[in-house]
Amino acid sequence: MATVVKSYEPTFRDKLYIPALFQGLMLTFKHMFKKKVTIQYPDEKHVPPEGYRGLHRLNKYPDGRIRCVACEMCAAACPAHCIHIVPEPSPWEEGKERYPVRFDIDLLRCIFCGFCEMACPEKAIELTEIYDFADYSREGLWIDKAGLLEIYELTKTQNYYTVPNDE
């Protein structure tokens, strides 16, 4: 036998419903005059909080060398299989002996989960705060190594959206 446990016994007032209805109406009415949260997007831009997972970037060392060593850990961790890397022995004398000759991300497949960032042993791939990168074609949303490095240049020193838009 199941026991019915009533956590709440409605009072007579509750059973009338009308006062509750009015309460509800008053609540929404009050909210009508509250401050609006809408951001008028193209005119003003939302600055995402720290830790926002937007467009990827590939980091560089201060001397300009790409950090990525093409270990493909990001590709292995990627649940959407959107990262495609072609590794090659690096042309540099010093440092890590492997680098990506191609590094493509299919942004249409990407789910921006950030696993790649977590899997990266070299802190090479990171997700930036950039969220508006829509395009008119599928090809346009296939970002390559040059593109990812460019994103790094755009975001390495400051937040993308706090920079005055002068492009």
Partner 1 sequence: MPLIKIDDREIEVEKGITVLQAATAEGIEIPYYCYHPALSIVGSCRMCLVEIEGMPKLQVSCNTSIGELPPERKKDGKYDMIVRTQTEIVKRERENVLEFLLLNHPLDCPVCDQAGECFLQDYSYKYGRAHSRFLEEKRVRKNEYLGSNVIINHNRCIMCTRCVRFTREISGTNELFVQARGDNSKISIFEDKSLDNLLAGNVIDICPVGALLSTDYIHKNRFWNLEEKKSICTDCSVGCNILVYSQNNRIFRINARENHSVNGYFICDIGRYGFHRYEDAEKVTSPLIRSDGGFKPISWEGALKEIYEQFSRSKDGEKHQIVGIASPFHTNESLFMFGRLMDNIFKDKSIIGKLPFIEDYEIHFDSGFRISKDRSPNRQGLLDFCLNLEDEILQKVKTGKVRLCYALDDGVDRKLDEEWESFFKSQRFLVVQTYAMTPLAKLAHLILPGPSPMEREGTMTNDQGRIQWLKPSVSLTNKTRPDWEIIMEFMNTVGKRELKYSSVNEVNLEMGERFPSYRGMTFFKIGYQGLPKKNIATSRPSEGGQAGNTVT
Partner 2 sequence: MDLIGFIIICIKVVVVFAATMLAVMGMIYAERRISAFIQHRLGPNRVGPKGLFQPLADGLKFLMKEDIIPAAVNKPLYLLAPAMLLIPALMTFAVIPFGSSLTLFGRQISLQVADINIGVLYILALTSVGVYGIVLAGWSSNSKYPLLGGLRSSAQLISYELAMGLAIVAIVLMTGSLRLNDIVTSQQGHLFSWYVFKQPVAFLIFLIAVYAETNRLPFDLAEAEQELVGGYHTEYSSMKFAMFFMAEYANMITAAALTVTLFFGGWDIPFVDEAAMGNWGALLSGIAFILKTAFFLFLYIWVRWTFPRFRYDQLMNLGWKVMLPLALLNIFITGGILTIIS
CB of 75 to partner 1, least distance (A): 8
* Interface pick for partner 1 out of 39, 76, 118, 163 (rule CB under 8 A): 76
Query: How many CB atoms are closer than 10 A to CB 64?
Result: 7
Instruction: Count the neighbouring beta carbons within 10 Å of the beta carbon of residue 128.
Output: 20
Which of 69, 78, 83, 116 touches partner 1 (CB under 8 A)? 69
Instruction: Tell me if 148 contacts partner 1 by CB under 8 A.
Output: no
Say whether residue 73 binds partner 1 (CB under 8 A).
Answer: yes
Residue bearing tokens 């926002």: 52
Question: Which of the choices partner 2, partner 1, none does residue 32 contact, using the CB cut-off of 5 to 8 A by kind?
Answer: partner 2
- Counting contacts by CB under 8 A, is residue 81 touching partner 1? no
In the complex, what is the shortest distance from the CB of residue 35 to partner 2, in angstroms, rounded to a whole number?
7
Alpha-carbon torsion, ordered 110, 88, 148, 151, to 10 deg: 150
Q: State how far the Cα of 118 lies from the Cα of 116, in Å rounded to an integer.
A: 5
